[in-house]
Amino acid sequence: MELKKAIYFTLDSIIAGGIVLTIIILLSSIYSKEPDATHLNYLSNDLISILGSIKVKEIDNSYIKSLINDGTITNLDNTVLQQIGEFWANNEIDLAKKTALNVTEPWLSTHTGFGVWINNEVIYNRDIQVKMYLISSKKMISGIAKGHITDLTRNNPPTLWGPAIIEVRLWE
Amino acid sequence: MLTSKMNTSSKSQAFYGDFVISIFILVIIIIIYFEYIGNLSNQNSDSLSELLAEAKIISSSLTGAGAPANWNTDNVARIGFVDAGNKINNAKYANLNQISYNKTKRLLGTTHDFFLFFENESQYVQNVEGYCGIGSKLVNITYDLKSAYLNECPDPDDPNCEQFLKSFMQTELKADYYCSNQNDCPPGMYIDDLINNLNNYDFVVLEHPALSQAKWNNFKASADSWLMNGGLLFIGGQLPSAQSTTGFDVEFRKKAGQSESDRLSTVIREDEFLAFEVGQNIIFRQAYYVVNQGVDNGFTDIVRFNGTYVHFNDIKNFGDIAIARWLYGEGKIFFFSDFDANYFKGNFAEIVKNSAKKWANAVCLPINIAGLKRQNLVRLNRLVVYKSDILKMVLYVWS
């Protein structure tokens, strides 16, 4: 009877050892997977470069398209950054925030902090603590005020807003 | 009573001993494991950081404009395919695909292997200009596209058959194979089966099917609605046995003469789907041509036979059409005189294959790097714009 119990304990330890080894092997395989290296300086530069050049009429984004369709966005030649700036200049901060959120959300991991400031006024800010480092990219923007004529003549110049400094911050 | 108590005590000791030993072994294993991982990390940190530095250099080069500013495969000094505003320059990206992998590595100044692909906002691999990725052949690229391939040969492995797209269709697109000769056709692979199954496919290639007129008529009748609903059809070589036949708003004809001068043609138009260079010559193995009989718009002639003409403008205006594409309802048709051809400036078959992937807008399946034999691997992400979409450019570099 006692002998049987001893055999039973040995089997237990072999099974336990097997489980431990399996866990270690699994951990090793996870450990050796490729590191995710979306470098924030690249991401920050890429975002400000893309959003500062792609026009609202070009970008394939359902939220911006809906704003164009309902007449909220009138100047289709605005870049995305200019459009955010125009909303800011018109004190439509919620629209500016939603635009910034919609165009950037798919490209940012959930643990990456992101925010947009115009002239140091926060437009959108992800509620994530800065733990390691923060990268900032800035660009000067200006544009034609909403609803104003865009024929650029000396006698009848369009009303402009800005210039303002738009800042994109990313952090982890 | 006392004996019973001692027995109980002894059993408890055995449990306790087992527990202590197992914890002890576990602690030793954990210490060894973390020591090993720590050392491994220290040993590799230098090479990993070097690899990362190299990946950054490669990604910076690729996301630049390259040199000279309008580089092509002949004069490229530095590879780069991204213009201002991070926009992919489609022509440069297509050119990059024409450069061999080893030359690309040399131009990028790296000895390490690399692979580049794009992900859309849903994190699916994006087909860019017909390519799911560029780089080492060790990374398998596969497409999700329901396709079929029809050829006259009953034996798919017959080396005497004209089957220039067969390998591509079967290996890369996993196409179903059909043949037009009933006597030797395996069950379920006859042209009639293709006609019955046509609606199951997105993309169909007819390479020199040499059909009877009756079978051609049956195919046309079935393909008409399939094309109208968005099918993509590539046709080349002899269609029905007759010298001339009609279908899909054009007339298909065979050139009267088949000497080399009859089969000589010239690229007369730059086309976004076919990377041929204007003014360059192509010699087809067999000379067939199309005559537009009713395509109102969307008919694009790309290559014309020289015939008796010498001057480019004469060929462009009067030569018989050797390669053309046109819209048919929601669908698209691409006609090639023959898939067997010599293109003096490049690989004809490769250009046709890339055009197929681009036209068919084949969905790329996930890139799997699990099977790569490597010591270190780094991944670098960048953002770029393709047409009007923002994409994530993913670069893997490994040693």
What does the H/E/C string look like for chain B? Answer: CHHHHHHHHHHHHHHHHHHHHHHHHHHHHHHHHHHHHHHHHHHHHHHHHHHHHHHHHHHHHHCCCCECCCCCCCCCCECCCEEHHHEECHHHHHHHHHCCHHHHHHHHCCCCEEEEEEECCCCCECCECCECCEECCCCCCCEECCEEEEECCCCCCCCCCCCCCHHHHHHCCCCEEEECCHHHCCCCCEHHHHHHHHHHCCEEEEECCCECHHHHHHHHHHHHHHHHCCCEEEEECCCECCCEEEECCEEEEECCCCCHHHHEEEECCCCCCCCCCCCCEEEECCCEEEEECCCCCCCEEEEEECCCCCCHHHHHHHCCEEEEEEEECCEEEEEECCCCEEECCCCHHHHHHHHHHHHCCCEECCCCCCCCCCCCEEEEEEEEEECCEEEEEEEEEEC
Q: Which residues of B touch A103 (CB under 8 A)?
A: 390
Decide if B119 contacts B149 (C-beta within 8 A): no
Quote the pLDDT of residue B362: 79
Q: Supply the pLDDT for residue B160.
A: 67
Number of folded domains that form chain A: 2
E strand or H helix at A151:
none
Residue B283 has pLDDT above 90, yes or no: yes
Mean pLDDT of chain B: 86
Question: Phi/psi at B391 (nearest 5 deg)?
Answer: -125, 155
Characterize the bridge pairing of strands B134-135 and B363-364.
unpaired
Tell me the chain B residues in contact with residue A4 when contact means C-beta distances shorter than 8 Å: none
Residue B358: which CATH number?
Answer: 3.40.50.880
B22 touches chain A (CB under 8 A): yes
User: Do residues A20 and A49 both lie within one domain?
Assistant: no
Look at residue B6 and tell me whether its pLDDT is greater than 80: no
pTM: 0.70
Put simply, the answer to whether B392 touches A107 (Cβ < 8 Å) is yes
Assess whether B311 and B371 both reside in one domain.
no
Chain A nearest-CA residue for B27: A20
Q: Answer yes or no: is B95 within a domain.
A: yes
Tokens of B216: 């051609």
pLDDT in tens, A76-97: 999 999 999 999 999 999 999 9
* Cα separation, A80 vs A100, whole angstroms: 8
Q: Using the beta-carbon criterion (under 8 Å), do B379 and A35 form an inter-chain contact?
A: yes
Q: Which pair of structure tokens corresponds to residue B226?
A: 């399939």
Inter-chain contacts counted by CB atoms under 8 A, chains A and B: 80
> By percentage, how much of chain B surpasses pLDDT 70?
90
**Over 80: is that where the pLDDT of B114 sits?**
yes
Does B210 reside within a domain?
yes
Please state the rounded mean pLDDT for residues B237-253. Answer: 88
Contact (CB, 8 A) for B273 and B355 = yes
Q: Give me the residue from A12, A47, A58 closest to B383, CB to CB.
A: A47
For residue B282, tell me if it sits in a domain.
Answer: yes
* pLDDT for residue B59 is more than 50: yes
Same domain as A110, residue A81: yes
A interface with B, Cβ–Cβ below 8 Å: 5-6, 9, 12-13, 16-17, 20, 24, 27-28, 31, 34-39, 42-43, 46-47, 49-50, 52-54, 58-60, 103, 106-107
Given this model, what pLDDT does residue B3 score?
47
The predicted pLDDT at position B157 comes to 66
* Same domain? A20 vs A71: no
| Residues A82 and A8 placed together within one structural domain of the fold | no
Are B378 and A35 a contacting pair at CB < 8 A? yes
Query: Contact B47/B378 with Cβ under 8 angstroms?
Result: no
Same domain, yes or no: A103 and A164? yes
Q: Does B16 touch chain A (CB under 8 A)?
A: no
Q: What confidence score (pLDDT) does residue A37 get? A: 46
Considering the domain architecture, whether residues B39 and B186 belong to the same structural domain is answered as no
ipTM: 0.77
Please tell me the predicted confidence (pLDDT) of residue B13: 53
B44: pLDDT strictly greater than 60: no
- pLDDT at residue A5 tops 60: no
Same domain for A65 and A128? yes
Does residue B61 sit at the A interface (CB-CB below 8 Å)?
no
Same domain, B70 and B186: no
Secondary structure letter of residue A132 according to DSSP: S
Share of chain A above pLDDT 90, in %: 53
Q: Are residues B349 and B386 in the same domain?
A: no
Q: Are residues B210 and B239 in the same domain?
A: yes
Same-domain check for residues B352 and B380: no
Q: Is B85 within 8 Å of A53 when comparing Cβ atoms?
A: yes
A95 and A142 share one domain? yes
Query: According to the model, what pLDDT value does residue A68 have?
Result: 95
Q: Tell whether B356 and B380 lie within a shared domain.
A: no
Other CB atoms within a 10 A radius of the CB of residue B299 amount to: 17
Cβ proximity of B237 and B258 under 8 Å: no
Average pLDDT over residues A52-59: 94
Tell me: pLDDT of A151 over 70: no
Task: Tell me, yes or no, whether B206 and B269 share the same domain.
Answer: yes
Q: How far A97 CA lies from chain B's nearest CA (Å)?
A: 19
Q: Tell whether B228 is within 8 A of chain A (Cβ).
A: no
The predicted pLDDT at position B1 comes to 44
pLDDT digits (tens, 9 = 90+) for A10-40: 777 788 878 878 887 776 655 544 444 458 8
Shared-domain flag, residues B87 and B171: no
Owning domain of residue A99? 40-171
Question: Same domain, yes or no, for B25 and B2?
Answer: yes
- B243 in a domain, yes or no? yes
**φ, ψ for residue B12, nearest 5 deg:** -60, -40
- Residue B133 included in any domain: no
A55 and A83 fall within a common domain = yes
CB contact under 8 A, A37 and B380: yes
- pLDDT, residue B396, reads 93
Same domain? For A79 and A158 the reply is yes
Q: What is the mean pLDDT of residues B82-100?
A: 90
Instruction: Tell whether B134 is covered by a domain.
Output: no
State the total domains in chain B: 2
Mark yes or no for CB contact A50/B29 under 8 Å. no
Scan residues 27-56 of B and list those with Cβ closer than 8 Å to A. Answer: 29, 33, 37, 52, 55-56
Predicted pLDDT at A118: 95
With cut-offs at 50, 70 and 90, classify the pLDDT of residue A143.
confident
Structural domain span for residue B330: 143-363
pLDDT in tens, B335-347: 999 998 999 888 8
A28 and A52 inside one domain: no
Q: Name residues 113-152 of chain B within 8 A of A (Cβ).
A: 121-122
Average pLDDT for B209-230 = 92
Give residue B353's pLDDT band: very low, low, confident or very high (50, 70, 90): confident
Of all residues in chain A, the one with the smallest CA distance to B123 is: A106
Residue A129 has pLDDT above 50, yes or no: yes
Residues from chain A contacting residue B139 (CB–CB below 8 Å) = none
Residues A147 and A84 in one domain: yes
Q: Are residues A166 and A143 in the same domain?
A: yes
> How distant is the Cα of A59 from the closest Cα of chain B, in angstroms?
5
Q: Which residue has the higher pLDDT, A148 or B38?
A: A148
B17-30 pLDDT tens trace: 777 888 888 888 87
Rounded to whole angstroms, the Cα distance separating B348 from B340 reads: 8
